[in-house]
Amino acid sequence: MILAAAMNPEALSGAEDAITRLKRGDPDALTAMISRYQHRLYRYLLQLVRQPATAEDLFQQTWLRVMERIGRYDARRDFEAWLFSVAHNLAVDFWRGKRGESLDADGDSSEPSRDRLAAGDPDALEQLLDFERGAILAACVHDLPAIHREVLTLRFEEDMKLEEIAEVAGIPLSTVKSRLRRALEGVRAVMAARFPGRRSV
Amino acid sequence: MNEHESIAEVLALAAAGALDAADQRRVDEHARECPTCRRELEIWSVYSLGLGRLPQPAVPAQLMERTRARVWQERAAVADRRWNELMLTALALFAWTVGLTFWFLFRVLTGGALVIMGANLVRLGTWSAVSTVLVWLTAAVAAIVLGKRRRELRRVS
């Protein structure tokens, strides 16, 4: 998705224009930017914290922080990576505040996510099958620790390059690679444990 | 670790598109010759494909409106605080200027002695103490009153 946006000059110049206007405190620019990123940012935060109310609060805090710091934002940096790193840091603070936990420590599956919608598909039966397969895989991802859920969502849903993930999470590239590998192995292990007999999705 | 084992280690990353071009080529070449790794790569590819197509969460209704309202509310509160601080400082400076001017005038007009309740008010120390109390009280009251007025004006607009 990021790649698609990056390859679209119109979208890119629109974003640059909105960032410039955001620096001037233009309310319409804020509306445009929230509208542009709301699905992806909310999805990322929900994947990290798993509680819709907390994800929404962190979503709002992210934009508050963006408005506070937009003046210091260096336009040469990738805005999306910067935005997601702001959200990442707020999520880290949230976990720290929550009985001193960290993203690494979160591995329970206390609140299964149920507010998910199927992706659009013209064929209803295929859509249903896709949804079933997607729901099974989503349930497996849900059981992983937050640091693994994060790297998976950034790589596969946000389509970020490993370098961008490293920037968002503030970790070295080698750590991103090892984390991604462990996350994938984790999904497969959970899948094997939950659905013995299935070898793939 | 032999070639097969080292390739098997990175198959998940290869399917995730997380290898550089040279490593990806090595994996592809090995997978062409090795049915075990080919099968593993296919499985990891299915996972990667599935992970890119997970059901999407529904964004809460009015999320954008609530976020926008919270951002502007917060910014207005910060602007109010800054404005009040600025106003307080400006009023304090103004009051000090007036106080010192009056001290100078009183000193000239009274010949340096204006005794009330045993204290010479025209002495710089006494004048400063009395002025300080009056200045800060006045500035604080003025800032509060002006701040309230600004908030009311914002509500109306």
ipTM comes to 0.73
Q: Say how far apart CA A16 and CA A11 lie, in whole Å.
A: 9
Helices A173-194/A162-169 angle, 10° precision: 100
pLDDT-based confidence at residue A201 (cuts at 50, 70, 90): very low
Tell me the mean pLDDT in the region A63-69.
Answer: 93
Q: Mean pLDDT of all residues in chain A?
A: 80
Residue among A35, A59, A157 whose CB faces B52 most closely: A157
Tell me: pLDDT of A109 over 50. Answer: no
Residue contact B16–A59, C-beta within 8 A: no
Higher-pLDDT residue of A123 and A111 is A123
pLDDT at res. A115: 39
Interface test with B, best of A26, A64, A140, A153 (most B CBs within 10 A): A64
Length of chain B: 157
Least confident of A70-74, B68-72, B86-90: B86-90
Q: Which residues on chain B are in Cβ contact (under 8 Å) with A52?
A: 57, 60
Q: What is the mean pLDDT of chain B?
A: 86
Chain CA centroid to CA A139, Å: 16
Helices (H), chain A: 2-6, 9-23, 27-49, 52-69, 79-97, 124-142, 146-152, 162-169, 173-194
DSSP state of B54: P
For residues A48 and A57, is the Cβ–Cβ distance under 8 A?
no
For the stretch A6-20, pLDDT in tens is 445 555 566 788 888
Calpha distance B61→B59 (Å, rounded) = 6
DSSP string, B6-67: HHHHTHHHHHTT-S-HHHHHHHHHHHHH-HHHHHHHHHHHHHHHHHTTPPEEPPPTTHHHHH
* Residue B65 touches partner A, C-beta closer than 8 Å: no
Contact of A156 with chain B, judged by CB distance below 8 Å, is answered with yes
Residue A2: per-residue pLDDT: 45
Q: A149-172 in b/e burial notation, b at 16+ Cβ within 10 A?
A: bbbbbbbbbbbbbbebbbbbbeee
Most B-contacting residue of A184, A187, A190 (CB-CB within 10 A), to test interface:
A184
A-B C-beta contacts closer than 8 Å: 118
- B32 exposure class (CB count in 10 Å sphere: 0-12, 13-18, 19+): exposed
Q: Which helix (H) or strand (E) covers residue B31, if one does?
A: helix B21-33
Q: How many residues does chain A have?
A: 201
Encoded amino acid at A174, one letter:
S
Residues with Cβ < 8 Å from A192, sequence gap 6 or more? A198
Q: What is the mean pLDDT of residues A194-200?
A: 62
- Residue appearing with tokens 């976020």: B67
CA distance B29 to B24: 9
Higher-pLDDT residue of A99, B93: B93
Burial (CB count within 10 angstroms: exposed 0-12, middle 13-18, buried 19+), residue B33: exposed
Among B124, B47, B137, B95, smallest CA distance to A192 is for B47
Higher pLDDT, B148 or A195: B148
Comparison of pLDDT for B140 and A58, the residue scoring more: A58
Cα separation values, A179 from A66, B38, B124, Å: 27, 23, 71
pLDDT digits 0-9 by tens, A124-166: 555 555 667 778 889 889 889 999 999 999 999 999 999 999 9
Residues of B in contact with A57 (CB under 8 A): none
- What's the whole-number mean pLDDT along residues B21-39? 94
CA distance B28 to chain A (A): 18
- Report the residue of chain B nearest A142, measured CA to CA: B54
